[in-house]
Amino acid sequence: MELISTQLEKIEDMLSRLDEIIDVAKNVPFSGKISIEKNAVFDVIDDIRGTIHDMRKGLPSEMNQAKRVMHDRDTIVSEAKHRAEMMIKAAETEVNKLLNEHDITYQAKENAQRIEDEAREHAKESLVSAGNYIIDYFDDASELLEKTLEEHLAKARELENFYNNILTDFQEARSSVRVDRR
């Protein structure tokens, strides 16, 4: 996100350069028009396009971060399942041990069932917690991507209006030039 902010600042600087080019442009006598150096304007426009291209290349990093979150979710779920399996195995071992002891067989079954229920409940809670974490992260990532897209679109509209104004000025300047081509 810091990279995008830096690139937006670059675009604003380039737009300021365009403003300066227009501000220092020479007036065309008797027309209310100005004369600007075409290459200077096109150089700034090319710089803006390059920065926008760099910004677009930066978006895949957001996607990579979402992939990492998916991987982390899978790891959390896998670990929760593994812990639950280990707890179940421990419970089964405990049950078998207690079954061998005739005096406390009934108590062993109850304890084993309790441990197994707790293990299942813990696994279930871990899965729900992991799922909620992922959903929250995707909500945050979606919100961030939507905000970034809105900012890019707003800047693009500003650039489009700016270029349309320049084009209109050029067309008006062109139409005001009268040359006798004899």
| pLDDT tens column, 115-149 | 999 999 999 999 999 899 999 999 998 999 999 99
CA distance linking residue 117 with residue 83, whole number of Å: 13
DSSP bridge pairs for 35: 26
Q: What is the pLDDT of residues 75-84, one digit of tens each?
A: 888 888 888 8
Q: Give the domain range for residue 47.
A: 2-168
Question: Quick check: is 117 in a domain?
Answer: yes
Q: Nearest-CA neighbor of 155 among 46, 10, 2?
A: 10
C-beta pairs of 75-79 under 8 Å, 24+ apart in sequence: 76/126, 76/130, 76/133, 77/126, 77/127, 77/130, 79/126
Question: Quick check: is 174 in a domain?
Answer: no
Give the mean pLDDT of 47-54: 85
CA distance linking residue 46 with residue 14, whole number of Å: 10
Confidence at residue 61, expressed as pLDDT on a 0 to 100 scale: 66
- Helices 105-176/2-23 angle, 10° precision: 10
Question: Quick check: is 131 in a domain?
Answer: yes
Provide the number of structural domains found in the chain.
Answer: 1
- pTM of the predicted model, to two decimals? 0.33
Question: Quick check: is 143 in a domain?
Answer: yes
Question: Quick check: is 8 in a domain?
Answer: yes
CA distance linking residue 122 with residue 84, whole number of Å: 7
Confidence at residue 66, expressed as pLDDT on a 0 to 100 scale: 65
Are residues 120 and 84 in contact, defined by beta-carbon separation less than 8 angstroms? yes
Confidence at residue 97, expressed as pLDDT on a 0 to 100 scale: 76
